[in-house]
Structure 1
């Protein structure tokens, strides 16, 4: 793109370009040059909006975490409807979409990125930690409604669901698991605590 031509929503264009590179080539291929080339802009555009490349990546991750907040509220509002296993199966399948799986790989592969994200997510893996909190909130709502055993250890169940889901979906290059496979894992984790 010629110098001096304004780019609308440059941050979002750069974020979308980074996602495309991540999905196509994986975390190791992600660089400022790869992102700006994919976005069709000069490398200086990225540095005009972000202090450095790791600052860009940290904002990308935070932006994608923020996008899940609405879904977390929807999940909590669904308490008392449908089935607990059905809601959790849907939530895990949506959470572990290709972009989220690629972002988790990115976070785990870059030390400086993890260090920056520790400022807002002091423990765990960003995105997964926030997702576990969303599941815990939903499970607490279901427990209040009596659809989950009153002594259910929600603080253990939520991260167990996230870890199990991540193992199912983590193969970036393989086939995504069938819905029934996800449902079986959720049903096994929730085992004796669901009271529907």
Structure 2
């Protein structure tokens, strides 16, 4: 006589759930990436906790299980993106003495501003509480822009050691000038990003007098 198989209860699928056992880091990145997409598509005014969890495909309470509140989430998002610039800075300094100075700087500016940096700067300006929280550990400068400026200054200093940037060049002036110019180039998030040739022209104009003939 055949063995009867137990009848299994049907499982109701729930939309926007995070599987059990998903690493904390994975959930954070999922939420951060969703926030970036919203920033790029609709700007800081559209960024809410519900919008983030919906975009990420997570349950509504997931964000608040991992972060104290929404401004805590946004502060961690900014700090995570700052950490990416810190990693980029290491690679950029390592490139000193290779390629061309203009090419290296153009690539660095495109990597910074071709992503979500411009939108995050707008977000920090838009939200007073977020700005206040970031000021506790970063009392001066605009988050992301300050770190990007330090990265460019460190690279130019490394190129001075290689002799490709003249020793008399003031890297503390050149760096913020390049960051400001790059920010303006990429500021219009609704239009087509500037072509690489346009970025190179701006970089060349800024650093021309500082390059060793």
- The TM tier, using the shorter chain, reads over 0.9
Aligned-pair distance for 1:117?
A: 1.2
**Map of 1:6 onto structure 2:** 20
**Map of 2:9 onto structure 1:** none
Contact 1:143-1:150 within 8 A present in 2 as well: yes
**Map of 1:53 onto structure 2:** 70
CA RMSD of aligned residues (A): 1.6
Q: TM-score, normalised by structure 1?
A: 0.94
In the alignment, structure 1 residue 131 sits paired with structure 2 residue 145: no
> Residue deviations 1:134-170, cap 9 Å, x none?
1111000111122111111111110110000000000
Q: TM-score, normalised by structure 2?
A: 0.87
**Map of 2:182 onto structure 1:** 165
**Map of 2:200 onto structure 1:** 183
Output aligned runs, 1:27-176, within 5 Å.
27-176=44-193
Structure-1 separation of matches of 2:125 and 2:41: 18
Number of aligned positions between the proteins: 196
Contact 1:98-1:172 within 8 A present in 2 as well: no
Contact 2:38-2:52 within 8 A present in 1 as well: yes
- When Rg is computed on C-alpha atoms for both structures, the one with the higher figure is 2
Q: Which segment is superposed worse, 98-107 or 74-83?
A: 98-107
Structure 1 spans left out of the alignment, 5+ residues: none
Structure-1 separation of matches of 2:115 and 2:75: 18
Aligned-pair distance for 1:98?
A: 3.3
Structure 2 spans left out of the alignment, 5+ residues: 1-14
